[in-house]
């Protein structure tokens, strides 16, 4: 069984590492052949918009999935004429456009911050009336890691913000003074089976995920069930197959949906050692229509992202009881180069261990 993956970054690499033991083989499509996934399969270097490259990529594959959500929906549709592409163009289209995504949340009864579409100065004024201040003006498409967004604190910020982001379709969103970000990793198989991992608690630095704890601290069963309900509603509406991440803001004990990622997600990397079945294996099981694996945690886990730079591997190997995951990428500011995972039997052991590891590799996060 040979799977194609659109995108060849670290998520593709970890899909390959999870799939090889299942007897799967992989081919990746990416702009360059020098990508992290090259360690675990063949890489076709090509553009998603090049129909001939897509045809060569598809030849001999049993199935296509993706590790990058900004694949043009046209590429998915072209591939879907000859073989299954999962999750499909529908889920991508919803996830690629913040306005459609938030509209879908609202339709499904999932609480969401106030929002309104913005195309120009006139619609921005109307949106400010609906949403209020402070607010965040964002591009509807292609934003990630905090890029393509401007915070509006007062009315005078509106014109410069529009100028900074202008010429693109935008959305104005209520700025939420949230207590923390939570994310839920959910997986649905082609056969309709559904499973969720525990709610995860995320901390960012510079708009980039820095630290995840699983399970999130102090979650009530009611909140966990609410998150699972929202996930089920979304995945069933989208007739989704694979892993999907939902990011929530937590405020006053309530969840507000922020966005979805129709793929395996950085806040689920802890599942490699911290859950019975990793998000990567479960994504593969789901798109293949196999039974899902158990999503139960194997303890209390934390995941620390290594961003921009990191100590040499031999130094990281000194950290006790720490699982090292490097992606084989060249250091560059703001680039995710790897992650570390800790799994301990109790929250207090995890916090003690996490504090020691953070002091060694990301001291700015210690105590956070």
- Which residues make up the interface to a second copy (CB under 8 A)? 1, 13, 17, 20-23, 25, 39-41, 276, 285, 288-291, 293-294, 298, 313-314, 317-318, 320-321, 323-328, 338
Q: Is the dihedral of CA 267, 194, 28, 147 positive or negative?
A: negative
Strand partners, 250: 180, 255
Smallest distance, a second copy to C-beta of residue 328, A = 6
Smallest distance, a second copy to C-beta of residue 281, A = 9
Q: Are strands 63-66 and 2-6 parallel, antiparallel or unpaired?
A: parallel
Q: Look-up: residue for tokens 């003074």?
A: 177
Helix 10-19 / helix 279-288 crossing angle, nearest 10 deg: 70
Q: Which is nearer to a second copy, 230 or 285 (CB)?
A: 285
Q: Which is nearer to a second copy, 31 or 313 (CB)?
A: 313
Smallest distance, a second copy to C-beta of residue 271, A = 13
Smallest distance, a second copy to C-beta of residue 45, A = 18
Smallest distance, a second copy to C-beta of residue 269, A = 11
Q: Which is nearer to a second copy, 38 or 223 (CB)?
A: 38
Q: Look-up: residue for tokens 């992290």?
A: 36
Smallest distance, a second copy to C-beta of residue 218, A = 25
- Angstrom distance (rounded) from CA 100 to CA 204: 25
- Angstrom distance (rounded) from CA 264 to CA 286: 12
- Angstrom distance (rounded) from CA 271 to CA 276: 8
How far the first Cα of the chain sits from its last, in Å, is: 44
Residue 206 in contact with residue 147, Cβ under 8 Å?
no
Q: Which is nearer to a second copy, 170 or 350 (CB)?
A: 350
């Amino acid at each position: 069984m040979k799977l194609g993956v659109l995108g060849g970054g670290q998520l593709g690499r970890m899909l390959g590492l999870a799939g090889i033991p299942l007897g799967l083989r992989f081919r990746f499509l990416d702009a360059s052949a020098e990508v992290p996934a090259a360690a675990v399969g063949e890489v076709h270097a090509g553009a998603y918009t090049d129909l001939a490259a897509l045809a060569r990529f598809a030849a001999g594959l049993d199935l296509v999935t993706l590790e990058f959500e900004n694949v043009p929906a046209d590429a998915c549709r072209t591939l879907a004429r000859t073989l299954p592409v999962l999750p499909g163009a529908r889920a991508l289209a919803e996830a690629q456009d913040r306005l459609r995504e938030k509209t879908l949340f609202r339709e499904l009864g999932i609480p969401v911050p106030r929002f309104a579409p913005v195309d120009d100065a006139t619609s921005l004024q109307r949106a400010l009336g609906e949403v209020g201040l402070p607010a965040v003006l964002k591009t509807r498409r292609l934003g990630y890691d905090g890029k393509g967004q401007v915070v509006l604190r007062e009315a005078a910020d509106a014109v410069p913000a529009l100028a900074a982001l202008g010429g693109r379709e935008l959305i104005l969103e209520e700025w939420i003074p949230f207590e923390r970000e939570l994310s839920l990793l959910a997986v649905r198989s082609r056969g309709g089976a559904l499973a969720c991992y525990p709610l995860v608690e995320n901390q960012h630095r510079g708009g980039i995920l820095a630290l995840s704890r699983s399970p999130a601290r102090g979650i009530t069963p009611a909140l966990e069930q609410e998150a699972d309900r929202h996930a089920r509603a979304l995945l069933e509406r989208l007739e989704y197959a694979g892993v999907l991440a939902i990011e929530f803001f937590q405020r006053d004990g309530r969840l507000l949906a922020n966005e979805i990622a129709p793929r395996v997600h950085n806040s689920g990397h802890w599942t490699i050692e911290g859950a019975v079945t990793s998000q990567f294996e479960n994504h593969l099981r789901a798109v293949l229509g196999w039974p899902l694996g158990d999503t139960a945690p194997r303890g209390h886990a934390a995941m620390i992202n290594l961003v921009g730079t990191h100590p040499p591997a031999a130094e990281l190997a000194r950290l006790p009881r720490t699982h090292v995951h490097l992606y084989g990428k060249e250091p560059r500011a703001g680039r995710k180069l790897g992650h570390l995972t800790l799994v301990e039997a109790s929250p207090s052991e995890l916090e003690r261990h996490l504090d020691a590891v953070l002091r060694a590799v990301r001291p700015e996060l210690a105590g956070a």
